[in-house]
Amino acid sequence: MKDIDMRSHPARVISLIGMPGSGKSTVGVLLAKRLGLAFVDTDLLIQEQAGATLAEIIAQKGHTALRTIEEQVLLDMNIGASVISTGGSVVYSDAIMRRLTQSSTVVYLRATLETVAYRISLAPDRGIASPGNHTLEDVFNERVPLYERYAHATVNVDSDAAEVIAGHVSQALDT
């Protein structure tokens, strides 16, 4: 895990990336509260724009439509001092990741496949933007190298409670 000095950033913006179930929304809210920043959940922005849940978008229009909406929403949204919880598929868009890596500190919340599978089993209606013939393991294996490529810092999330993980992220950011 690398230490990032957030004081060198003109606006304190942290983008959380990782697999569905890695805790981006839960940890993001706690981290934003800890740092006194706004919290933005891009999945909610996508759902507001589309007037449908992520699972409904995937069921009705397919995973590529969800990724297209996601790209448009994330490229158009204002980025100010905040903690941004992204959807798990943002790493498929070079344009989104270029914007996030230039305007924020990107933190990868790394979870094992076992952790992701368990947490997703608790919310089976969750939409995962992937081809229907991909298993969760396929998606995991495809995305992990992308998360690793774009991350400024990585925090493991398998063993600790969300509040503790938020503390680890804060420490990694040197805040």
Q: How many CB atoms within 10 Å of residue 93?
A: 17
Per-residue pLDDT of the chain in tens (175 residues, 90 and over written 9): 344 444 444 459 999 999 999 999 999 999 999 999 999 999 999 999 999 988 899 889 988 899 899 999 999 999 999 999 999 899 999 999 999 999 999 999 999 999 999 988 887 666 566 666 778 899 999 999 999 999 999 999 999 999 999 999 999 987 5
Structural domain spans, the chain: 6-172
Q: What is the distance between the alpha carbons of residues 45 and 50, in angstroms, rounded to a whole number?
A: 9
Which residue, among 15, 76, 43, has the nearest Cα to 6 in the 3D structure?
15
CATH superfamily of 6-172: P-loop containing nucleotide triphosphate hydrolases (3.40.50.300)
Token output for 74: 């994330």
The residues near 103 (Cβ < 8 Å, ≥ 6 apart) are: 11, 13, 79
pTM for the model? 0.89
